[in-house]
Amino acid sequence: MRKSITRKILEGHLVEGGSGLEPREEVAIKIDQTLTQDATGTLAYLQFEALVALGVELERVKTELSVSYVDHNTVQAGFENADDHRYLRSVAAKYGLLFSKAGNGICHQVHLERFGKPGKTLLGSDSHTPTCGGLGMFAVGAGGLDVAVALAGGPFYLACPRVVRVELSGALRAWATAKDVALTVLERFGTKGNVGCVFEYGGEGVKTLSVPERATVANMGAECGVTTSVFPSDERTLEFLTAQGRAADWVELRADEGAESEYEAVVEIDLSEVVPLAACPHSPGNVKTVRELEAEGVEVSQVCIGSCTNSSYKDLTTVARILRGRKVSPEVELVVAPGSRQVLAEICRNGALADLVSAGARLAECSCGFCIGNCYAPATDAVSVRTSNRNFEGRSGTKTAKVFLVSPETAAATAVVGKITDPRSLDLGIECPQVKMPERFYTDDSLILQPSNTSISNAVQIYRGPNIGEPPTTSPLPETLSGAVAIKVGDKITTDHIMPAGSRMKYRSNIPKYAEFVFEPLDSDFYKRALGNKNAGKHNFIVAGESYGQGSSREHAALCPAFLGVKAVLAKSFERIHAANLVNFGILPLSFRSAADYEALHEGDELEIPSVRERLARNEKLSVRDCTRGLEFEVGCELTERQRQIVLAGCLLQTFL
């Protein structure tokens, strides 16, 4: 049988499920590596500790390699972040994980540089984990609880993906970049309707892209909602790993010739036709050409370059070359955040940093920083042009800001001119910079701490500052659900809407406190209303449109609503990671059979799902009664047997009892 890359990796890791790897059937795969970051990591490790407390035999994590990164909450405005970092460090030391300290870089960039291996599986508690697909890994984002289970040696369950082959031909022209390829993909596929899909890249054009460029493309597959994106591992991969001093980690990985029957569809992208693009407010799928925006004369007050999408050596050196001998427009604040300490060290050595500083850039830490809105929030109504991957309303930290997502090249041109500018229009006097990658990157892993050796790990004390809460307990599914529609929302509700990050993120380790901000960006009264219902003994229901739960993997977007008594979400459709998180915390994801049923429901309506426990246990149809309006309708509940058991138990952890 001729096989796709996806099949090759999945077959080699299959633990449960049909060996036919039929799309949509549930399969379980062995996880070789995990990564967590601090904003999702504390909860992941609290749940890992809960597994240990439940008697799961665990002295060390069972994966080949697990890394705990600190990159999101590095601001330390108050004790909370630092306390979380100490907790994470002590857990890593005790249980055998590597610990990447604050300042070492963004998890996806560092993992690509130092740890990713072609052909391996990686599970990360961050939705951009697929970045390592650029190296030929099967790299998937998930909630922290799924990562905790993988750390304990459990498999990861997923719907076997449908594979779409993205055939790349030609080569990028001057000023067109990997980011523009990622935006082309978003333009073609959109941000919804791609759940359960893998984008597998192939074709002659692949070899024209370096690993960091492939990583940029794989990174933004997350915005399409795919399970992951994967590139072949070829001579360019070997070149990258060799430059990282890791040639021994290379294996070749390609789809077999003639594996066409493996693909649900083949989509071609001619790289030579790709032009500079921008995602306009407030969705990564809202793509226009930079030329069009240039013609509109969009004035810009902030440009931010960095994030896990575009903070590589090549990205920042290119920006520096464009800015060399120039000044940032007086109207613009330019922020540059290198993706890792390796990138920072390299741009110190090659002079790029001096060019950035001379041009007037503000240098930010090697961390997520501006991307997650906990610093560098733009001014009211300001236009901010960024190289990151998400521009959801309010995510920048400023509700009224308008964020455009572009390539580093477009960002640099824009910073100089002060208006959104196609870099091809810039009278540079030089050709488009051709940045050669170092033959050998500067490597210094001294901010990556090794765990204690096994003989002393028992003595390691876990540090728990006052910011570290207990993972809350959830209750089993009751016989009947009855309560009120606590909120009705529209399409494409992101986890940033449900559980805002930014300045609220420091409460990630404290569920009762963080729960106060559920749906804050949409309705600041939600918390009081939901808590009121809960205290009155009612369940809460959420009613939503298409693609509910886009974006982040944060399981808080399920756990905090669960804490407030939410027991079911009724939506037109769900995004993959969020749907899995809902199930993991005992919330039923129910889908509307008809748009009319969605229309009929209103906030405050009293709902009932009679005999829900019994029906779910027997896998029988569920119907919802709207007692306020005297309606009754059937809803879809596409859960596997395993997932039904989790919802019945109230939480995945309970199924380990």
Residue 368 C-beta: closest distance to ligand SF4, Å: 3
Distance (Å, whole) CA 30 – CA 207: 29
233 binds, among ligand SF4, ligand MIC, none (CB under 5 to 8 A by kind): none
Give the binding range for ligand SF4 (CB under 6 A) out of 23-31, 152-160, 365-373, 629-637.
365-373
Which among 113-121, 367-375, 518-526, 634-642 is the span making contact with ligand SF4, rule CB under 6 A? 367-375
Of residues 117 through 146, those in contact with ligand SF4 by CB under 6 A are 126, 128
Q: Can you tell me which residue has the tokens 């030391």?
A: 93
CB 586 within 8 A of CB 474: yes
CA distance readout (Å), 6 to 31, 142, 358, 510, 632: 15, 18, 46, 38, 43
Closest by alpha carbon to 184, among 197, 196, 201?
A: 201
Burial pattern 252-283, b for ≥16 Cβ within 10 A else e, equals ebbbeeebeebbeeeeebebeebbbbbbbbbb
Size of the site for ligand MIC (CB under 6 A): 13
In angstroms, what CA-CA distances link 308 with 132, 187, 334, 612? 11, 20, 18, 42
Q: Which does 132 bind (CB under 5 to 8 A by kind): ligand MIC, ligand SF4, none?
A: none
Count CA within 13 A, CB hemisphere, residue 409. 25
Binding mask 473-502 for ligand MIC (x = CB under 6 A): ----------------------------x-
Figure out which of the listed residues 186, 274, 293, 308 binds ligand SF4, where binding follows CB under 6 A: 308
d(CA 477, CA 131): 37
Whose tokens are 């306390």? That residue is 83
The reply to whether 639 sits near ligand MIC by the rule CB under 6 A is no
Which of ligand MIC, ligand SF4, none interacts with 307 (beta carbon under 5 to 8 A by kind)?
ligand SF4
Using the rule CB under 6 A, which residue among 389, 482, 495, 553 binds ligand SF4?
389
**Strand residue runs (E) in 170-264:** 197-202, 228-230
Distance of alpha carbon 132 from alpha carbon 215, whole angstroms: 6
**Mask: binding to ligand MIC, 120-159, rule CB under 6 A, as x and -?**
------xxx------------x------------------
Q: Which of 317, 552 has the CB closer to ligand MIC?
A: 552
Q: Is 340 in the site for ligand SF4 (CB under 6 A)?
A: no
- Could you say which DSSP state residue 546 is in? S
Cβ at position 86, least distance to ligand SF4 in Å: 21
CB of 512 to ligand MIC, least distance (A): 18
- Of the candidate spans 50-58, 364-372, 485-493, 588-596, the one that interacts with ligand SF4 by CB under 6 A turns out to be 364-372
Cβ of residue 312: shortest distance to ligand SF4, in angstroms?
13
Based on the shown chain and the rule CB under 6 A, indicate whether residue 372 belongs to the binding site for ligand SF4: yes
Instruction: Work out whether 554 is an interface residue with ligand MIC (CB under 6 A).
Output: yes
| 352 sits near ligand SF4 (criterion: CB under 6 A) | no
Q: How many helices (H) and strands (E) does the chain have?
A: 22, 27
Q: Which of 560, 461, 448 is closest to 87 using CA atoms?
A: 461
Q: Which of 157, 154, 150, 115 has its CA nearest to residue 135?
A: 115
Is the Cβ–Cβ distance between 329 and 316 less than 8 Å? no
| Least distance CB 480 / ligand SF4 (angstroms) | 39
Please choose, out of 194-202, 410-418, 480-488, 548-556, the segment that lies near ligand MIC by the rule CB under 6 A: 548-556
DSSP result, 248-270: GG---B-PPTT-GGG-SEEEEEE
3-class DSSP assignment, residue 335: strand
User: 106 is in the binding site of which of ligand MIC, ligand SF4, none (Cβ under 5 to 8 A by kind)?
Assistant: ligand SF4
Residue 384 site contact among ligand SF4, ligand MIC, none (CB < 5 to 8 Å, cut-off depends on kind): none
Residue 554 binds: one of ligand SF4, ligand MIC, none (C-beta under 5 to 8 A by kind) = ligand MIC
Three-class DSSP category at 423: helix
Position 553 contacts ligand MIC (CB under 6 A): yes
106 binds ligand SF4 (CB under 6 A): yes
Contact range with ligand SF4 by CB under 6 A, out of 132-140, 152-160, 368-376, 465-473: 368-376
Contact 386, 284 (CB under 8 A): no
Can you give the binding site for ligand SF4, defined by CB under 6 A? Answer: 72, 106, 126, 128, 307-308, 368, 371-372, 388-389
Can you give the binding site for ligand MIC, defined by CB under 6 A? Answer: 39-40, 72, 126-128, 141, 372, 501, 551-554
